[in-house]
Structure 1
């Protein structure tokens, strides 16, 4: 395949009419233009330009070559504006992935962004599989706990705290636990059959009665807790509306069962397209407002 630089040297010669003018148009030397033309003619196996002391003339092969060379130049001239448009426009597809429990935080924020930026075509993919933004062709994804990948940018959003919650009716009927040991007489709703409560540096492993339902989906556990089936181990952001409305109350305040950080992850891009910066400026402060700002000290 001929080198684009060689084809452009030929096109400049045909357009400008001399080696001097072609060299000036290409910002190189006359000898460079000559070398590129010779290399192109050797590559194609044909003489393209006839040289005389006074003028240049295209051979038949050169005349047939010229429209293709002109098309290449036009294509290259259009390349930069096309890239500039993609970099500057706040429009087009933008795909975000997150796990199930956090999706209810992210979905309303993305809906607000879509109303503010109607040119964006936002898509939210929800699953509990750890996704690779590069391999899975994602613009952004939310990850929890740890991010081990130097090719990705991980922006900290905050912390999630999992603690114990129950309905006022359940606690009135079954009693308020005052210590972790008193949970042995209660039915817990959680993921797994064992639980370790933490308070500062203090750890308290528990072996409560078998859980009502061993389920790894927080939304199901929240529903069972709201229905008064037991005490649920639930993340703070998920129970916040029920706490505000009085449907749930926190059990054993000061104790928690788990804490983990949340990150917004995306491939490294510099310079960053305008639509990505608009997304970050809109989403980051709203997510951070919904999560704990930092890991509380023991």
Structure 2
């Protein structure tokens, strides 16, 4: 295919009325504009313009070609506008992947964003399995824990404080541990990534572990932010509150470091603010 720029220069020259005016519009020299049109005429073997010292006149072939070139310019401008909109105004579909336990956090963080930008749509994939981010066309993936090596860009959101919890009914039946050494005698609810030797229940779903903990089935290490509502209503109590547990890094990963569209930028800002305000957020 011939160089599309040559057609654009031809259409802009006709619209401007002269090569010098077209040169100013295009940021080119008049000589470069003239050479572009001559190159197009040479490639096609057709004369497009009659040139005189006073004006340019379209040939019959030029008249037939011009509407197609104008549509080409219109399409290019529309493409440019769409890219500018993606850069400056959140719109289109925002695809986010997150573990099951983080669904509520995504909803709380992005509700104001979706209210402020009605042209923005959210597609939230909630799954504890590691989905293929490229195949799923993910814009932002929320990850908890240590990240595997990846070409994606990691953007830290928070270090969630992990606390040890139990239901009051469990404490009534088994007693409240007074020292860390007492924990060995208790039932444990654990995730596969935790040391779980002797654990009574193992699940890769933190929400499920918390629900089982609230039912009095054992002790569980839970994110303070997730356990806070249950602690407030008395469904859970803290065990050994003076003993520091590990923390859980929460990270947003994105395909690129620069050139994020507006929908990704505003979503990342909203997620940072939300996680920074959570109970037990140690850092952001």
- Flag whether TM exceeds 0.5 (same fold): yes
Please say if residues 157 and 271 of structure 2, whose CA atoms lie closer than 8 Å, have aligned partners that are also in contact: no
Please say if residues 165 and 249 of structure 1, whose CA atoms lie closer than 8 Å, have aligned partners that are also in contact: yes
Q: What is the 5 A alignment of 1:246-285?
A: 246-255=234-243, 258-268=246-256, 270=258, 272-285=260-273
1:71 equivalent to 2:59? Answer no
Name whichever of 53-62 and 157-166 sits farther off. Answer: 53-62
The 1:177–1:4 alpha-carbon spacing in structure 2 relative to 1, beyond 3 Å, is same
Q: Find 2:280's aligned residue among 268, 292, 296.
A: 292
Q: Deviations over 1:192-211 (max 9, x none)?
A: 59838xxxxxxxxxx5xx33
Distance of 1:212 and 1:138 partners within structure 2: 36
1:122 equivalent to 2:110? Answer no
CA-CA distance at 1:219 after TM superposition: 2.0
Structure with higher Rg: it is 1
Q: Deviations over 1:77-128 (max 9, x none)?
A: 4444443334333443222221112223222333454345444322221112
Q: Deviations over 1:173-217 (max 9, x none)?
A: 222222333333322222359838xxxxxxxxxx5xx33222222
The 1:47–1:124 alpha-carbon spacing in structure 2 relative to 1, beyond 3 Å, is same
The 1:270–1:233 alpha-carbon spacing in structure 2 relative to 1, beyond 3 Å, is closer
Q: Which runs of 5+ in 1 are unaligned?
A: 197-206
Q: Deviations over 1:42-78 (max 9, x none)?
A: 3223333344666654433322212212222333344
Q: Deviations over 1:219-276 (max 9, x none)?
A: 2222222111222233322221111112211223333554221122334465654444
Q: Which runs of 5+ in 2 are unaligned?
A: none
1:169 equivalent to 2:157? Answer no
Structure 1 residue matching 2:277: 3-state secondary structure:
helix
The count of corresponding residues between Structure 1 and Structure 2 is 282
Distance of 1:138 and 1:236 partners within structure 2: 28
Name whichever of 178-187 and 235-244 sits farther off. Answer: 178-187
Distance of 2:79 and 2:193 partners within structure 1: 60
TM-score w.r.t. length of structure 1: 0.78
The 1:193–1:185 alpha-carbon spacing in structure 2 relative to 1, beyond 3 Å, is farther
1:89 equivalent to 2:89? Answer yes
The 1:174–1:292 alpha-carbon spacing in structure 2 relative to 1, beyond 3 Å, is closer
